[in-house]
Structure 1
């Protein structure tokens, strides 16, 4: 259930770039101090940056006519590739190596950490932003900035209701705040257990797990109105130093 941003006046013509000499990443715009409003777009950009291939970005806020109706999407000379994991596989097929020298056990751990970030931490991030009445007005006005003012609230509120129904079906929205934070705390402690041993999750250099976990933690911390979850990450020196190390190593433009 990706975070979605709606705008009017989207044109299909915008997804046929002239820059065929380099890879082009379609991404949600910058926001809240991050490369993109979506941690999955940050993840895809990090894979591109570490691949060594030439690439550039193009911002979108309405993915409805993109493959799978979501972002990120990578435009290559041949096709559009949706989803950050598919983008990673494309780059690996082009020769990029993101997990050198990892054992089979480390690869299994990396997979588990990635799934934990993307299938649990992420939905807590979405609930923190879309389900929190203190945060929602800021999210609405930033994510829906391109919707005409008279339509912004009904469009945004309608999508919010639909998303919250999805989170209730998922189950995460049924927990009390206390129980939900306790579950997230287990995730954060698992991440920190890895970081006590090395600067990155799998050793001395970033691997694919870091490119999922790091952007998710950074997105949680960057929630524009402080929540107990955002404060938990921001106040933790170990997690904040980890985010900074990863950002300094990847150096997204």
Structure 2
């Protein structure tokens, strides 16, 4: 059976990482049988030293975009067959925008914002034994802030980052409009991407200014609820 490796449940989500959720929902949409393995230590055997990755009959594939491409080609999936050439191109660009831009807003909203840090600290480090729990969280937070700064988004102010995030939310709200899914009546691969990122802001069980901004868009909230009712009923 195909295996999907992720971090595990957090914030009332199947996984704290939108990239893991993306693959998880894609597998559900494609009706591919799989086993979800929540194991932070799986990073050690990941082909790219990141999660998620999948293991399919001994073959390991890392990076969510390459995983989706691999699954589509190997299993001859038809999720995007109803999309036009232009729509497929749009979905590709939209996916990159979420992966490479909105993601960093999410990272900031969790790891840098002071009002979110207590929740993050307890969720990811609460079970560490002393003395690790006394210094490991601070080290990891410092590393994340350095990564954000090198990436570029860490050089922006919080209000600037919130503005960037809201541009994504408002654009997605316009694209979705009153449709059940982003490209019509049927879910496609982009819906796995869009839901994964939106839900990490909208469906999580904690509050900050970024989460609250995303929740202002009723159709995006309803979109997440619609997918969760069908694919994540528990």
When normalised by structure 2's length, the TM-score is 0.92
What are the ranges of 5 or more consecutive residues in structure 1 without an aligned counterpart? 1-21
Map 1:54-69; keep pairs closer than 5 Å.
Answer: 54-62=33-41, 63-69=43-49
Offset at 1:119? 1.0
Does the 8 Å CA contact 2:12/2:205 hold for their aligned counterparts?
no
Counterpart CA distance in 2 for 1:91 and 1:251 is: 21
Does the 8 Å CA contact 1:81/1:87 hold for their aligned counterparts?
yes
Map 1:21-170; keep pairs closer than 5 Å.
Answer: 22-62=1-41, 63-92=43-72, 93-170=74-151
Offset at 1:250? 3.5
Offset at 1:218? 0.7
User: Residue in 1 aligned with 2:200?
Assistant: 219
Cα distance, 1:42–1:58 mapped onto 2, change above 3 Å: same
Find the partner of 1:181 among 137, 159, 162: 162
Secondary structure (helix, strand or coil) at the match of 1:24 reads strand
Secondary structure (helix, strand or coil) at the match of 1:25 reads strand
Offset at 1:143? 1.2
When normalised by structure 1's length, the TM-score is 0.85
Does the 8 Å CA contact 1:200/1:210 hold for their aligned counterparts?
yes
- Answer with 34-43 or 239-248: which moved more: 239-248
Does the 8 Å CA contact 1:49/1:252 hold for their aligned counterparts?
no
Task: Tell me the matched-pair count.
Answer: 232
Counterpart CA distance in 1 for 2:118 and 2:44 is: 23
Secondary structure (helix, strand or coil) at the match of 1:126 reads helix
User: Residue in 2 aligned with 1:242?
Assistant: 223
Secondary structure (helix, strand or coil) at the match of 2:207 reads coil
What RMSD, in angstroms, separates the aligned Cα atoms of the two structures?
A: 1.8
Counterpart CA distance in 1 for 2:232 and 2:122 is: 29
Q: Deviations over 1:218-250 (max 9, x none)?
A: 101245542111011223321100111222343
Counterpart CA distance in 1 for 2:223 and 2:85 is: 24
Offset at 1:43? 0.8
Does the 8 Å CA contact 2:203/2:224 hold for their aligned counterparts?
no
User: Residue in 2 aligned with 1:17?
Assistant: none
What are the ranges of 5 or more consecutive residues in structure 2 without an aligned counterpart? none
